[in-house]
Chains A and B, each alone.
Chain A
Amino acid sequence: MELKDFKRRDVGSAYIFLKTEATPTDGWQAFKRFVKRTLKGELFVGLWIVLREMIRFDIHTLQYPLEKIEMSPRYRAIHRLLRLFESGSERCIGCGLCEKICISNCIRMDTHVDEKSRKVVSEYSINFGRCIFCGYCAEVCPELAIVHGAEYENAGEQRAHFGLKEDMLTPLDTFKAKQQKEFQGFGALSANADENVKQTPLAY
């Protein structure tokens, strides 16, 4: 390839040209085109289409405050912190990956080592005023502890709005009532995850 090959602007046969009507060259052709367009009936096709839609009455309006759309599990709205289904303790292991990856620097967490010498999260806060809901924190979380919920109605009165750990963590009574739903969005285990588990090569 030489420079002139790059400078070529006509790509030749690579373009697919639309078959357009030939431009009329004289008055008679223009008149014929006018008659053809006039009697083509396209206008009545348009009339029929809108009337058909009116008769079908297939209304797509969602009357928002009264009706709400069901969000996809992949929708990224206000975060939730989940509990382990087995023990009810927090899933978060305090690794700090979400704090590290957060591109708008809105996650802060404090951890300490408790009496059982386990690392626990003492403080966890997200500034929702800064959060851009990119989903990196949920993606990077190794324990599926921080996930995105579907609450999209989150207008704030202030620029900074902090969600604390107790706001986002599944409350214990909700958990005990078995109301905590497993996150189904990105990074979640598939429904047939158990079937796909194989023993490690060392075991056989």
Chain B
Amino acid sequence: MFDTAVIIETVVKAVIVVAVIAALAGFATFIERKVLAFMQRRLGPMHVGPYGLLQLAADGIKLFTKEDIIPQNAIKPIFMIAPVIAATTAFVAMAAVPYFPEFTLFGYTIHPIISDINVALLYVMGVASVGIYGPLLAGMSSANKWSLLGAARAVVQMLSFEVVSGLSVLAPIMMIGSLSLIDINDAQTGGIGDWLIWKQPLAFVLFAIAGFMETNRAPFDTVEFEAEIVAGYATEYSGMRWGLFFIGEYANMITISVLVSIIFMGGYNAFWFIPGGLMMLLKVSFWIFLFLWVRAAWPHVRPDQLMWVCWKVLMPLSVVNIVITGFALL
């Protein structure tokens, strides 16, 4: 079963995904600064390179050459491994995510997915939840009260949103009958009317909200909210270890964008004259833009408000959604 070609192909795919997503994560920081600046009538980075494009390189050099400080009372091995957990889980989650329709290159059909497993959605959400160990361990090992508060908030937040994201995505799964993201995508081949967003609008909204919580983005950035807990779990980190958290966060953003695009917005199916691959890029770009847009516009919620809205509003709504879907399927 595992012949050499498959192994080579998988390794090449994995390297490409890691390289491209890491580069995109770096680029996303630049885009974020620019978009936020434009929305606030500023120019953003302008001095390094044309329109500040080389700011990426400057930031990279800074991150790589900065001293890697480990606080005196920190628990050293855990402190050192925590950012690695955050970054790896973000990348590992991408193994079961298809990005583009399959295409032929040099007479060889390529499936742009590292591993098409039949429990892909469960796997992605499970691994993404493991990613919470990054902030948790970082905060607990840092010997810093802000870090500890950040870790506590991270766990509280995960317990809250994980229920919502799991239950909300259950309704589309019931309709399609498969956890494989490729099957979910193939169920929406018939143009824009077939998108699951029309059949499951509530699940879509709930999953999107849970996605914002999962990626610690505003308005649910309680884990690292500067005005309240300095930088949360990342307070004591510097240099590339901090950069790993950052890359993990942006990789998570990309994963969530891809997931929402595939589950609810027709995935990589071709639309009218636009080929499927471009469609996917457009959808993911829109979602990344939405993350930045929301950050520029909306205020941040308190952790207790976040828990309140998760447990008392979103979770009942998602249960109701599942019940209605169940009756409709009967």
B11 an interface residue at 8 Å Cβ cutoff?
Answer: no
Given A50, A58, A61, A63, which contacts B297 in the complex, CB threshold below 8 Å?
A50
Q: Which of the 9-residue segments A13-21, A41-49, A129-137, A168-176 touches chain B? A: A41-49
Report the separation of the CA atoms of residues A58 and B21 in the bound assembly, to the nearest whole angstrom.
33
Report the separation of the CA atoms of residues A46 and B313 in the bound assembly, to the nearest whole angstrom.
23
Docked-complex contact A54 and B297, CB < 8 angstroms: no
List, in ascending order, chain A residues with CB within 8 A of B35's CB.
54
Taking residues whose C-beta sits less than 8 angstroms from the other chain, chain B's interface range is 10 to 19
- The secondary structure that dominates the B interface is helix
A53 an interface residue at 8 Å Cβ cutoff?
Answer: yes
A71 an interface residue at 8 Å Cβ cutoff?
Answer: no
Docked-complex contact A47 and B41, CB < 8 angstroms: no
Q: How far is the CB of B53 from chain A (nearest CB, A)?
A: 16
Residue in A closest to B44 when the chains form the complex, CB atoms: A61
Kindly name the residue among A46, A50, A57, A63 whose own CB sees the greatest number of chain B CB atoms within 10 A: A50
A53-B298 contact in complex given A47-B293, A63-B46, C-beta closer than 8 Å: no
List, in ascending order, chain A residues with CB within 8 A of B271's CB.
none
Residue in A closest to B296 when the chains form the complex, CB atoms: A50
Give the total number of A-B pairs whose CB atoms are below 8 A apart.
39
Q: How far is the CB of A49 from chain B (nearest CB, A)?
A: 7
Docked-complex contact A59 and B42, CB < 8 angstroms: yes
A61-B38 contact in complex given A43-B298, A50-B296, C-beta closer than 8 Å: no
A57-B42 contact in complex given A43-B298, A47-B297, C-beta closer than 8 Å: no
B70 an interface residue at 8 Å Cβ cutoff?
Answer: no
B39 an interface residue at 8 Å Cβ cutoff?
Answer: yes
Interface size on A, residues (CB 8 A): 15
Docked-complex contact B42 and A50, CB < 8 angstroms: no
Residue in B closest to A47 when the chains form the complex, CB atoms: B297
List, in ascending order, chain A residues with CB within 8 A of B294's CB.
47
B40 an interface residue at 8 Å Cβ cutoff?
Answer: yes
Docked-complex contact B297 and A60, CB < 8 angstroms: no
A54-B39 contact in complex given A43-B298, A46-B298, C-beta closer than 8 Å: yes
List, in ascending order, chain A residues with CB within 8 A of B20's CB.
none
Contact with A along B18-58 (1 / 0, CB 8 A): 00000000000000000101111111001000000000000
Docked-complex contact B40 and A53, CB < 8 angstroms: yes
Docked-complex contact B41 and A59, CB < 8 angstroms: yes
A51-B41 contact in complex given A43-B298, A46-B298, A63-B46, C-beta closer than 8 Å: no
Chain A residues 27-74 with CB under 8 Å of chain B are 34, 43, 46-47, 49-51, 53-54, 57-61, 63
List, in ascending order, chain B residues with CB within 8 A of A61's CB.
37, 41-43, 46
Docked-complex contact B42 and A60, CB < 8 angstroms: yes
Report the separation of the CA atoms of residues A54 and B297 in the bound assembly, to the nearest whole angstrom.
12
Docked-complex contact B41 and A58, CB < 8 angstroms: yes
List, in ascending order, chain A residues with CB within 8 A of B41's CB.
53, 58-61
Given B38, B46, B313, which contacts A54 in the complex, CB threshold below 8 Å?
B38
Given B43, B293, B298, which contacts A59 in the complex, CB threshold below 8 Å?
B43
List, in ascending order, chain B residues with CB within 8 A of A60's CB.
41-42
Known A47-B297, A51-B39, A53-B40; further 7 A-B contacts with Cβ < 8 A? A47-B298, A50-B40, A53-B39, A60-B41, A61-B42, A61-B43, A61-B46
Could you show 23 A-B contacts with beta carbons less than 8 Å apart?
Answer: A34-B313, A46-B297, A46-B298, A47-B293, A47-B294, A47-B298, A50-B39, A50-B40, A50-B293, A50-B296, A50-B297, A53-B38, A53-B40, A53-B41, A54-B35, A54-B38, A54-B39, A58-B41, A59-B41, A61-B37, A61-B43, A61-B46, A63-B43
For the complex of A and B, the 5 pairs showing the least CB-CB separation, nearest first, are A50-B39, A46-B297, A61-B43, A54-B38, A50-B297
